[in-house]
Chain A
Amino acid sequence: MSNQEPINTFSSRIAVLPEANIDTDQIIPARFLTTTTKAGLGDVAFNDWRYNADGSKKADFILNTIDASEHRVLVGGDNFGCGSSREHAPWALTDFGFKAVISTNIADIFKSNSLKNGLLPIVVTPEIHEKLLKNPQQRVTIDLEANSLTLEDGTVFTFAIEAFARQCLLEGVDAMGWILNRLPSIESYEQKTGKAA
């Protein structure tokens, strides 16, 4: 059983939100967290940036101007995904259609949550980031097998990704299944440390 489809290589146009410190309250405001499922959260991704108070769409906001099936890579400003631990943030972004998020810094918990939901967090240098921001219409190619991000101008950037998370994404490994397989070690640890029930 797998939590998500394997990721390997894909090309996509980018969607750019250049603001720094895009926090999880922007990605999905807290008042939408009373759901008990993961479904349909793409509709409220960036809700307060995306809709007017009367519910109408803000015509110039990027998520209202793109075709989600064509724009699978979100480029954010520095320190993307800061704030709360809500996994609803990557749920909302993947439900909208994103498969990768790029920034110069991505917050720890958001990064961890993204990796568990088939949303690839890619941290780039300020130079690469600037190239992305300068040409916000561009198409990029992400190759997880090669850890590479290729820009439209041919620049190839090799990104770092935690080895196990990468394997999970490449092979669709089920993280819950993996940790369940550790149960013999867990039981022995509990015995050894006097923590058994």
Chain B
Amino acid sequence: MSSTPKSLFEKVWERHIVEDESADRPAVLYIDLHLVHEVTSPQAFSELEARGLKVRRPDRTFATLDHSIPTLGPDAEGNRPYFTPQAKAQVETLERNTAAHGVKLFGWGSENRGVVHVIGPEMGLTQPGYTVVCGDSHTSTHGAFGCIAFGIGTSEVGHVLATQCLAQRKPKTMRITVNGELKPGVSGKDVALAIIQRLGFGGGTGYALEYTGPVIEALDMEGRMTVCNLSIEAGARCGMIAPDQKTVEWLRGRAYVPADYDAAAAEWLKLKTDDGAVFDDEIVIDGSVIEPMATWGTTPDQGGAISKGVPVASNENEVKALNYMGLHGGDSRSVAKVDVVFIGSCTNGRLADLRAAADILRGRKVAEGVRMLVVPGSEQVRIDAVAEGLDKVFTDAGAEWRLPGCSMCIAMNGDFVAPGQLAVSTSNRNFEGRQGPGSRTVLASPATAAASAIAGHVVDPRDYLQSA
């Protein structure tokens, strides 16, 4: 055993090396869990078929329907309202491909269908120390469980289907320590947006991040997933958090966890960065000064404390962003009227997120002229939310309650924000047109989104907290 102190990332990485990297060859990295969805997999299955190959490890491959599926239910004849015939054909392609290759599909009718990064952890498919990949950049979410989890393109989806491995170069490592204690009313989403603002959009390019420190430890698993989910919004390859007792208790009893759970958990708890491990870069953030955040621009780093209002542009990019958003530097966030509020996505579509939004909305109404859409992240989240009466809180307030899916986060299923409309969204990207052509997106936490729905403009949710 070498005595060189190692980071969590290095420990998990080394356990998955099939062949070492050299100057002219990348490492061959073993993948424990491959998650598949309808949008980025059809061409990969075609590639396998063109070569006469089968999915090598269907027992490590799980598929779901989330990106392009309608969030409204079927009509009386059972026809689902797909946005286009092509979207329907894409879903049928995945149904056919998974059947042909013996891959488990959590499809229509499954009580486990949902957004891929919600269902992986929910079923205990995601386990500490794993390598997890999916043809989706927000795969970084699973890093909250101490996994190396990253998004891949369709060619690589094919490589993993065929071999359960990827050719990879080891990324650089960065430790992000968030010290102090969060103020009441500040969530994991606010922490993530503050980290991205600090790193800059693209500031994490080439890095695997490890989040640590008292603020990260104090977050619940849902909050940790939100933080890891947004790693890619700083350009990072992945983000991870060391497993602790909270991780172990959260996963206990889930469908796919090991039979000898306590023995597995004891191993998981050993996965942590050694004292003295060296990172390529380190940043330290004071969590006690983070306030509820909202973006004002067209990249996730263009955000700030809601209380500080819309900043005055300091460069050409910011001028362009504010112009696109229809916002004016120096204005209070109360000036711009909100048209749409979206609660959901792999970033904030979990039960804890819906509870945070419902706590603010309970007994209140969505402002006149605001359309609010609440989309649970999975069937399980939907079932649990209904059992708690959260759906009723939302519909009583005037919001639409939908079936699980990616919905208005990626806006390819017909759930669009109209051109020029301003949306407050709990999702992950505020790019131009992300939520539909000409749409304008403000990223914020579930509490902020709910409070903004009531106010009709972006507000600090702390003014809307109600005692339980």
Contacts and interface: CB of A to CB of B under 8 A. Distances in A.
Given A36-B43, A197-B59, A105 B162 contact: no
A38 B43 contact: yes
B228 to A, nearest CB: 16
Contacts of A19: 317, 320
A34 B86 contact: yes
Contacts of A36: 42-43, 46, 89-90, 93
A148 to B, nearest CB: 19
A86 B412 CA distance: 13
Contacts of A90: 153
Q: Which of B26, B298, B320 has the most CB of A within 10 A?
A: B26
Given A112-B156, A176-B155, A180-B163, A87 B299 contact: no
Contacts of A86: 39-40, 153
Q: What bracket does the count of chain B residues touching chain A fall in?
A: 35 or more
A21 to B, nearest CB: 5
Contacts of B86: 34-35
Given A48-B437, A175-B167, A186-B163, A79 B32 contact: no
Interface band, chain A: 35 or more
B40 A21 contact: no
Contact of B24 (A31, A167, A178, A195): A167
A68 interface: no
A48 B10 CA distance: 42
Nearest to B157: A87
Nearest to A86: B40
A87 B154 contact: yes
A146 interface: no
B206 interface: yes
Instruction: Identify which of B87, B150, B153, B410 gathers the most chain A CB atoms within 10 Å of its CB.
Output: B153
Given A53-B437, A82-B202, A85-B136, A179 B19 contact: no
Interface in A175-197: 175-176, 178-180, 182-183, 185-186, 189-190, 193, 195, 197
Contact of A84 (B30, B84, B137, B155): B137
Contacts of A193: 15, 30
Nearest to A104: B202
A31 B411 contact: yes
Interface in B124-146: 135-137, 139
Q: Is the interface of B mostly helix, strand, loop or mixed?
A: loop
A21 B201 contact: yes
Contacts of B201: 21, 79, 82
A185 to B, nearest CB: 5
Contacts of A85: 40, 135-137, 139, 151-153
Contacts of B135: 85, 87
Contacts of B153: 85-87, 90, 109, 112-113, 116
Residue from the set A20, A48, A78, A85 with the largest chain B CB neighbour count within 10 Å: A85
Contact of B205 (A20, A31, A108): A108
A165 to B, nearest CB: 8
Given A30-B412, A53-B437, A108-B237, A179 B136 contact: no
A95 interface: no
B25 interface: yes
A3 interface: yes
A69 interface: no
A57 B366 CA distance: 39
A83 interface: yes
Interface string A48-71: 100001000000000000000000
A131 B137 CA distance: 33
A36 B42 CA distance: 5
A179 B171 CA distance: 20
10 contacts: A1-B51, A29-B433, A33-B40, A37-B43, A48-B433, A85-B152, A87-B40, A87-B154, A175-B167, A178-B167
